[in-house]
A and B are shown apart, each in its own frame.
Chain A
Amino acid sequence: MAATSKTGQNVRGALLTACGLLGIGGAQAQATEIKGAVLGYTEPDRVSAIETVVDVAHTFAGGQGLNFKLVYDGLTGASANGAVPWTDYQTFTRPSGAGSYQADPEQTPLDDTFRDSRVALSGGASLPWGRLSTVSAGLYGSGEHDYMSLGANLALSRDFNKRNTTVALRGAMFHDTINPEGGRPTPFGIMTPAGSELARLDGDGTKDIMDLGLSLTQTINRSTIAHLSYTFSQVDGYQTDPYKLLSVVNPETGAPGHYVFEKRPDSRAKHVLLAKLNHHLSRDIVRLSYRFMTDDWGVNSHTIDLEYRLKMGEHRYLEPSVRWYTQSEADFYRRFLLESEALPLDASADYRLGDMQTWAWGLKHGRRLGNGHDLTVRGVYYRQSGESHPAEAVGALRDLDLFPTVEAFIFQVGYSFGT
């Protein structure tokens, strides 16, 4: 009897879905969905962050949609400043030029004044265009004490083949403004002692970002769906990190003689290919994705993501996941510069532009509560590693860890409900 009732529900569900997809049965019901999440992120001895998101989406009877999202995040702690470790104490001037901080012997120099908060607000609308197409547009704005970003996006999607195939075209533009503490240091300018005058560039730094994307989603059979997308992104303008330094070292001993501010190219073109495959195993669900990115900075990266949703009863699931990522270093990535060499055109010692691989192991638990609301809890262990003793190390730098492994722990709670 129970089995018959469940079969009946499945049949009714399938028929309702089918009618909805075919546009049969009149106007859609109005619905509002509210989602929220809080995420905590911590790297032992380095950065900690907390991020809060609230997302409200409303669908009108005619199929039009409106959505708003508010994000707040706060960061604090220490961040690698780019200089190499050394066998003795090293003293650095704070980015503002006022005050200084010290790095212990054999320790990666960390700027411990990293503190910021960000508020981001975005909103969008979507409109059905005929029976098979949807147009959507949105606006975005975010602000930090030294950074502002404004953006707009537009997308068009169309269904084909009894809605088994969806093609979407999307574009987005952003204009970012950076106004670092104390102003932007002159590229390759020498870090001077605290309180002394440092050469700075005039005005704020700006950059413009244009994203264009094309995607194809295809239902393969009753239990499998595939998605393929290509995105081109062009970034023009100031992309240097004004807080990052390079050590200029003695070519024989490796001892840092002085420190200079980094300089990155003012143009970057990226190509991103993403493939996803979701498969329903009649009870559980497995999702696999692969992303390839290449850019004209010389960075090539591969990302593989695997998630397995293990159904535990009617309203609960457990979802282990693993993500593997690897990237090659940017052409201008240098762990340090040599006193004996001429300055290159561009150079950055930011380890995030270096050769690295990362792993992220996650576990998520989701359940529907008695009131019909959804609650999710997620934990992730993240680990970054690279070449600690590169061949180009000189003098005493050969014995120091030039790429210490970075570990992070992520914890997230999500809550959502519909009205």
Chain B
Amino acid sequence: MNTDSRSRLGRCALWLLLALLLPVLLTGCAGSMGVQPWERDLLAQPGMAIDPDPIQTALNEHIFFSKEASTGGLGTAGGGCGCN
């Protein structure tokens, strides 16, 4: 897959996710979405956390930070080490 194809695929993924998420989030902010407190049994499970394993996330970020040109988004990255 060449650079242009990958960029196109990435842009498609971005717009698709935004198209799916933004209406969802905006509706949610308006208060018409969500659950009652007693309906959180599934959401309260550890695997449903936005970051279910922060140590693993930090270790991954350190590896990818030192192997690729992108960082951030998954917490306040930055600083760190001289490996990049």
Q: Are B41 and A358 in contact (CB under 8 A)?
A: no
Q: Is the CB of B40 within 8 A of A302?
A: no
Cβ of A220 and Cβ of B69 under 8 Å apart?
no
> When the two chains form the complex, which single residue of B18, B33, B48, B49 contacts A275, counting CB atoms closer than 8 Å?
B18
Given contacts A161-B34, A231-B72, A303-B70, contact A144 B82 (CB under 8 A): yes
A171 to B78, CA, bound (A): 11
Residue among B22, B52, B70 making CB contact with A301, cutoff 8 Å: B70
Q: Decide: B77 and A211 in contact? CB cutoff 8 A.
A: yes
Contacts of B77 in A (CB 8 A): 211, 233
Bitwise interface map of B from 5 to 45 toward A, beta carbon under 8 Å scored 1, else 0: 01101100110011011101100110101111111111111
Among B28, B44, B79, max chain A CB count under 10 A is at: B79
Taken together as a complex, chains A and B put the C-alpha atoms of A96 and B36 apart, in Å, by 63
- B63 near A21 with CB under 8 A, answer no
Contacts of B33 in A (CB 8 A): 161, 164, 218-221
B59 to chain A: which residues have CB within 8 Å? Answer: 37, 39, 51, 53, 412
**Which of A125-133, A248-256, A266-274 is found at the contact surface with chain B?**
A266-274
Q: Which B residues are in CB contact (< 8 Å) with A227?
A: 50
Contact call B37/A225, Cβ cutoff below 8 A: no
Task: Specify which chain B residues have a CB less than 8 angstroms from the CB of A37 in the assembled complex.
Answer: 55-56, 59
A72 CB within 8 Å of chain B = no
| Distance between Cα atoms of A394 and B24 in the complex (Å) | 52
A226 adjacent to chain B (CB < 8 Å): yes
Tally of contact residues, B, Cβ under 8 A: 62
Bound form: Cα–Cα A327–B68 in Å:
8
- In the complex, the answer to whether B29 meets A412 with C-beta atoms within 8 Å is no
Q: Which residues of chain B are near A280, meaning CB under 8 Å?
A: 42-43, 45, 48
Query: In the complex, what residues of A have CB within 8 A of residue B43's CB?
Result: 219, 222-223, 225, 280
Q: Could you mark each residue 169-183 of chain A with 1 if its beta carbon is under 8 Å from any beta carbon of chain B, else 0?
A: 011101110100000
Please indicate the chain B residues that have their CB under 8 angstroms from the CB of A309 in the complex.
47
Annotate A270-291 by CB proximity to B: 1 below 8 A, 0 otherwise.
1011111110101001010011
Q: Bound state CA distance, A114 and B7, in angstroms?
A: 34
The reply to whether A302 and B81 contact each other, CB–CB distance below 8 Å, is no
Contacts of A135 in B (CB 8 A): none
A355 to B3, Cβ gap below 8 A? yes
> Within 8 Å CB of B42, what residues of A?
222-223, 280, 282
Q: Contacts A227-B50, A358-B67 given; indicate if A149 touches B79 (C-beta within 8 A).
A: yes
Residues of B within 8 A of A (CB): 1, 3, 6-7, 9-10, 13-14, 17-18, 20-22, 24-25, 28-29, 31, 33-45, 47-50, 52-56, 58-59, 62-64, 67-74, 76-84
Given contacts A53-B55, A414-B55, contact A165 B35 (CB under 8 A): no
* Residue A103 lies at the interface, judged by CB distance under 8 Å to chain B: no
CB of A90 closer than 8 Å to a CB of B:
no
B21 close to A213 (CB less than 8 A): no
Determine the distance from Cα of A327 to Cα of B70 in the docked complex, in whole angstroms.
Answer: 8
Query: Complex: how many Å from CA A415 to CA B45?
Result: 18
A272 to B59, CA, bound (A): 19
- Top 10 closest pairs, chain A to chain B, by CB: A164-B34, A302-B10, A174-B79, A147-B82, A18-B37, A172-B76, A274-B73, A218-B28, A149-B79, A272-B73
B22 to chain A, nearest CB (A): 8
Q: Which of A18, A270, A274 contacts B40 (CB 8 A)?
A: A18
In the assembled complex, the Cα of A150 lies from the Cα of B7 at a distance in Å of 36
